[in-house]
Amino acid sequence: MRYSAVVVTSNTEMARLAMHLLNRTHLALRILIYVARAEGNLVNVNLIADDLEMPRQYAGKLIHELVRGGFLESIRGRFGGIALARPAGDIRVGDVVQSIETINGRGSDRGKAEPAVRAFIQDSQAKFVEVLNLQTVQDFLPSVRQGLPSRAGRREGARAAKPVNTRG
């Protein structure tokens, strides 16, 4: 597909064209990774907020958006909490980004852009999400990234190997 030249007339217009993620999207991904590390156990919202150093209300709002997006499930009540709605390997980063960014209504003023610019931005965003979708939440878990078996994969009662002393 060919695009005609885009003339940017101001820094504000250039900023709107830039591909970047909102801080809240980054925090939403951190919440998903945190919950994934719980390995199927329910996690308390207050614990998430404290450990990720964010206000409880803000964490609750992001968690609500992740539940609406189908990434988390919420169980209410005294023994309730938050868990992944599906396996971490099935939650693609691009889908999360697209969900959170869409919920926030980003790009609502793009209807005013020239059709060629609007098509260029939409195509760029689609490619951006496509690249992000090459990663899943599972890819950010330490046991997978470092090539170590997860605790869930070990036999019941099995012990981890002792580290080898390489010093003489």
Full set of structural domains in the chain with CATH: 17-142 (1.10.10.10)
Residue 42 contacts residue 81 (beta carbons within 8 Å):
yes
pLDDT by residue (tens digit) across 17-37?
445 678 889 999 999 999 999
pLDDT for residue 100 is more than 80: yes
pLDDT for residue 96 is more than 50: yes
Q: What is the model's pTM?
A: 0.68
pLDDT for residue 6 is more than 50: no
- Mean pLDDT across the stretch 49-73? 95
CB atoms within 10 A of CB 79: 7
Residue 152 contacts residue 39 (beta carbons within 8 Å):
yes
